[in-house]
Amino acid sequence: MWALRTEWEGIYVPDAEVAWARLEEGQIDAVVSDLNMPGRSGIELLKSVRESPRFKGLPFFLLTGNSEVMFRRVSLESGATEYLAKPCDFKELTARLRNAFVLKDLQDEIKAEKSDLEIRLADRNRDLERAQRELLFRLAKAAEARDVEVGNHIARVGVFSRMLAEEIGLEPGFQRRILLTSPLHDVGKIGIPDSILRKPGPLDPEERRLMETHTTIGGQILAGELPRVLTSLESDEPAADFEFIHTAARIAMSHHERWDGKGYPNGIGGEEIPVEARIVSVADVYDALRNARPYKGPVSREKTMQIISEGAGSQFDTKIVDAFKARIEELETMLEFMSDAQPEPVAQ
């Protein structure tokens, strides 16, 4: 017997095969099935219903004259909503069906609410990510405004770093984080005095030491804890996991470390250096060499490749130098495409 909810209409079918065909046509709100039927049994029909995601949560009542405990257990274990002994009291069956419908309505409501919440949560996460990206980029621009490395340097380092991250097989989400956070590698230069940052000649040892602190300053800006007065304004929600900011902090802190441990600020080496910082280190040097700076001209492609290749295993991670060599054509294309050359002003 089948019950259609709206009119409580019962549809009688002779066996499990016809029942299944009728179920697939749709519009069935509950199944009341005999345990023993010609062909497939009620238990088999029940199992098919429970295995089909399409009929998830469909109330399924099993009826039988056999009141043995074993049948009761098997039917409930197979996912029967209820197990009723024959002869079945019609009023009792109707009452149980009504309960099952109320329960199903509630489950459907919860499901709808859950998916609505999931959509809203996904929207909120997207907004949060956008806000993080926006803030990081504006912070990079603020640092760039004080730096002598003007032009598209920071944007190019982002694009080059992503290419290298892709070449060494980092997952796409991580590649994206590297693209968006590597422009912040020198954010700590905000804290370096102009007299050092803009000094035309070579730096003396003390000035060099101060200049090197742009790594730790950058790391502290990005990884530092918020002042208590700000955190106390937050709600009780657990702290969000700001993966973008953590990645940016690791890059700012470690992009001048060397594979052989002779870099700064911490003298860490090999895989102790976060992979994102090892990548930015190659991308940053490549861009610095290939472009003119106030104190030097651009280095040729061949000479740049030679310098970076010679740094493999000492200054740089060999794996990333290999990635650099494998992608050199694309790197050069992007270098050209994102060059700092300004178009000539149009004559009036």
Nearer to Fe ion, 231 or 339 (CB): 339
Stretch that binds Fe ion, among 44-52, 173-181, 240-248, 284-292 (CB under 5 A): 284-292
Residues 6+ positions from 239 with CB-CB distance below 8 Å: none
Nearer to Fe ion, 46 or 335 (CB): 335
Nearer to Fe ion, 78 or 213 (CB): 213
By CB under 5 A, residue 284 contacts Fe ion: yes
How far is it, in rounded angstroms, from Cα 269 to Cα 272? 6
What φ, ψ does residue 37 adopt, rounded to 5°?
Answer: -140, 160
By CB under 5 A, residue 186 contacts Fe ion: yes
Nearer to Fe ion, 84 or 307 (CB): 307
- The least distance separating Fe ion from the CB of residue 53, rounded to whole angstroms, comes to 52
Nearer to Fe ion, 59 or 188 (CB): 188
- The least distance separating Fe ion from the CB of residue 153, rounded to whole angstroms, comes to 6
Stretch that binds Fe ion, among 72-80, 182-190, 239-247, 336-344 (CB under 5 A): 182-190
Stretch that binds Fe ion, among 58-66, 169-177, 228-236, 282-290 (CB under 5 A): 282-290
Q: How many chain residues are in contact with Fe ion, going by CB under 5 A?
A: 2
By CB under 5 A, residue 167 contacts Fe ion: no
Stretch that binds Fe ion, among 1-9, 31-39, 179-187, 312-320 (CB under 5 A): 179-187
- The least distance separating Fe ion from the CB of residue 52, rounded to whole angstroms, comes to 58
- The least distance separating Fe ion from the CB of residue 236, rounded to whole angstroms, comes to 39
Nearer to Fe ion, 186 or 317 (CB): 186
- The least distance separating Fe ion from the CB of residue 256, rounded to whole angstroms, comes to 6
Q: Which two tokens stand for residue 316?
A: 């740089």
How far is it, in rounded angstroms, from Cα 303 to Cα 233? 54
Nearer to Fe ion, 100 or 217 (CB): 217
Stretch that binds Fe ion, among 26-34, 175-183, 278-286, 296-304 (CB under 5 A): 278-286
Query: Which residues lie near Fe ion (CB under 5 A)?
Result: 186, 284
